[in-house]
Structure 1
Amino acid sequence: MRLAPNPRTLLSTLLLFLPTLTPALSIDCSHVLIDSTSFNLSPLGGPHHVSHIEELNDPPETVNTTYTLDICSPLRRSKGVPQEEECENGTRVCGIRRTFDHSTHTTSFTPMQIAGDYPHTSGRSLDPKWQRLKPASSGIRLEMHGGKLPPPHGRKQMAVIDFLCPAAAAETAAATDGEEGEGDGEEGAGLRFVGYGPAEEEEGKETDVLRLEWRTRYACEGSIGKGGKGKGGHWGFFTWFILIAFLGTASYLIFHSWLNYNRYGARGWDLVPHGDTIRDMPYLLKDWGRRVVDTVQGGGSRGGYSAV
């Protein structure tokens, strides 16, 4: 005798697996819609790194923290790296803090899970939030949540990434006589560490915030559809030219074939306009090719006469 499944049990099972499905739907880098403006950030996908070094006096230590982020998909584990030196699965922003103690000459590693989806540990999600910077032409901002340090019941963590449009940033720097940031001009090198510490807002004092700046042309308005290719517009012109030429030729042949059929009752090759020329095209090309070969292999300055 088979027992009917309990609806409450089925519902609980679905709710249990639901959090594991949400990360895949969290960020669509190819279509980021903010205030009716679309941005394509898919070329920025993949892991990117930025480092920050601190020198401490008491105790004498050197702290080197490397932050790795992937805004489009969770970070993958590295082969050969111990699990305790990496962040959990589902992490989007991970910090690895390497602390060198000058008194004992030892190095310790501390993983920092800044942002990601952790449904089975802390229960927090990425919860990405997009907004335009002021002025709107200067770029966009992404907030990502989910991390805790130490996991799973420590202080809340979040990452704030400002994607700056290079043109707007250059205008601002020129107006304020400011200096250019490190690594300007390269998409990967445009990532810059700004700061890490407690949130400034009164309600966010229990949250540590990692602030980064990313200078990239994909944060500019109108960058959608470029797909990372600076010469994509030229290909679009030639594509349209070939398409229009093909449609025009096809329309010409179809119209004249219909005209020859209705006016003269033509059949076969007689239907096609310039049918004799089209039919003789292979022979014409063959004859033209033979003449080219004869010209290339001719006697040159001997006027076509071969040496005896």
Structure 2
Amino acid sequence: MPNRWLCLLLLPACISAVTLDCKHIRIDKKDFDLSALGGPKTIHQQRWLPPSISNTTFTIDLCNPLKKLKGIDSKEQCPSGTRVCGIEERYNPIDGVKEVTEVRPIAGEFSTSHGRAMDPEVTRLKESSNADQEGLRIELRGGKFPETRQGDLQKAIIELHCDAELTGNEGFEDDEAAVDVAGYGSMSKRAKDDKDDEDEDEPELPDLDKGKSLQFVSYKNEKDDVGVLRLTWKTKYACENAEKAPAKEPGNKSSGWGFFTWFFVVSFLLIAAYIIFGSWLNYTRYGARGMDLIPHSDMIRDLPYIAKEWVGGVADRMKSGGSRGGYSAV
């Protein structure tokens, strides 16, 4: 029994030990702060699968689990705890139909649901095969697709390359997780005209990731049939002499409440609690009814008269402000 309680007490520490803390990453006595890269970022893999166009949107958040999107069926989203998610959509330019065909949780913390941990591993690129490249290599695990006994394990490998000129958030200002069907609309006429042509050339797909610091490299099964997503990310925060990442990127609005907002909220709750408790006390102890239930109801009734007298007194003082103290001349 004591061992069981000890395990329960140590469980939060064990969980936090295997969670990637973006703000405090220490490798080989060098500190990195990647908190400025937090938040969902999307990157795409597009393929021409006649007569359809396949687009897999990979969404990654290094620092926190991805949040569920409102208005979208949960079956078309990765489960809670996912850090890297791949959603494949297929668009048929002939009939204009788009549908979600696969949802792949690639990496995340699924210890409570499926027993698989994210097990993050961070190394310096100088210690790997890229001896001349300064930066970090992050591996995130935990995913499986499909979620069956025969499903393949998944993982993401993100190489963060040092680039003193880039923050790593370039190209995501107006980023959208979903593919805009209109982006493929120009191909509809060509697809209809060439649908009977066996020698049809592969169409030029729109570049959905132009100008982004994060880039797609590959996604395929590698050793032991593990599905591996490889990404590269250029950012100054991967430099070994990088400045400390700001708490918020410029232009981002603060999502927290200010002091005065909290002050008014707490004050309102305290007053409401006082009135409710006082009303209950007056009802149970004195059998009060109506306005008599409210604490200090007599004072509340007199408030209009008190305010009127106070305003009248102030007005009288202002009118008599030009007199000489109330003394008359002799």
Instruction: Verify: 1:217 aligned to 2:236, yes or no.
Output: yes
1:152 CA displacement? 4.6
Classify 1:23/1:206 alpha carbon distance in 2 versus 1 (closer, same or farther; 3 Å).
farther
* Matching residue of 1:26: 19
User: Equivalents in 2 of 1:73, 1:62: separation in Å?
Assistant: 31
Picking from 63, 69, 89, the partner of 1:72 is: 63
1:8 CA displacement? 8.0
* Cα deviation digits, residues 79-131 of structure 1 (max 9, x gap): 11100010000000011110235677643312110000112443111000011
Instruction: Verify: 1:156 aligned to 2:179, yes or no.
Output: no
* Cα deviation digits, residues 188-230 of structure 1 (max 9, x gap): x20000000012xxxx322010000101111111114253799
Picking from 73, 80, 87, the partner of 2:78 is: 87
Q: How does 1:204-283 map to 2 (within 5 A)?
A: 204-227=223-246
Q: Is the 1:115–1:158 Cα contact (8 Å) retained in structure 2?
A: yes
* Matching residue of 1:165: 162
Q: Is the 1:50–1:191 Cα contact (8 Å) retained in structure 2?
A: yes
Point out 4+ residue stretches in structure 1 off by more than 6 angstroms. none
Q: Is the 2:110–2:142 Cα contact (8 Å) retained in structure 1?
A: yes
User: Equivalents in 2 of 1:10, 1:91: separation in Å?
Assistant: 29
* Matching residue of 1:37: 30
User: Equivalents in 2 of 1:38, 1:208: separation in Å?
Assistant: 30
SS in 2 for 1:22: helix
* Matching residue of 2:218: 195
Instruction: Verify: 1:140 aligned to 2:159, yes or no.
Output: no
What's the C-alpha RMSD, in Å, of the aligned pairs?
A: 3.3
SS in 1 for 2:83: strand
Q: Is the 1:149–1:156 Cα contact (8 Å) retained in structure 2?
A: yes
AA of the residue aligned to 2:31: S
Stretches of structure 2 lacking an aligned partner (at least 5 in a row) = 167-208, 250-330
Q: Is the 2:107–2:140 Cα contact (8 Å) retained in structure 1?
A: yes
**Aligned residues, how many?**
202
1:28 CA displacement? 1.1
Q: TM-score, normalised by structure 1?
A: 0.58
Q: TM-score, normalised by structure 2?
A: 0.54
Classify 1:160/1:39 alpha carbon distance in 2 versus 1 (closer, same or farther; 3 Å).
same
Classify 1:152/1:119 alpha carbon distance in 2 versus 1 (closer, same or farther; 3 Å).
farther
AA of the residue aligned to 1:14: L
SS in 2 for 1:87: coil
SS in 2 for 1:142: strand
Instruction: Verify: 1:14 aligned to 2:11, yes or no.
Output: no
User: With CA pairs under 8 Å and 6+ residues apart, which has the higher RCO, 1 or 2?
Assistant: 2
Which is worse superposed, 47-56 or 117-126?
A: 117-126
Q: Is the 1:137–1:221 Cα contact (8 Å) retained in structure 2?
A: no
Classify 1:93/1:62 alpha carbon distance in 2 versus 1 (closer, same or farther; 3 Å).
same
* Matching residue of 1:172: none
* Cα deviation digits, residues 249-306 of structure 1 (max 9, x gap): xxxxxxxxxxxxxxxxxxxxxxxxxxxxxxxxxxxxxxxxxxxxxxxxxxxxxxxxxx
* Matching residue of 1:48: 41
Q: Percent identity?
A: 37
User: Equivalents in 2 of 1:20, 1:88: separation in Å?
Assistant: 24
AA of the residue aligned to 2:233: W
* Matching residue of 2:119: 127
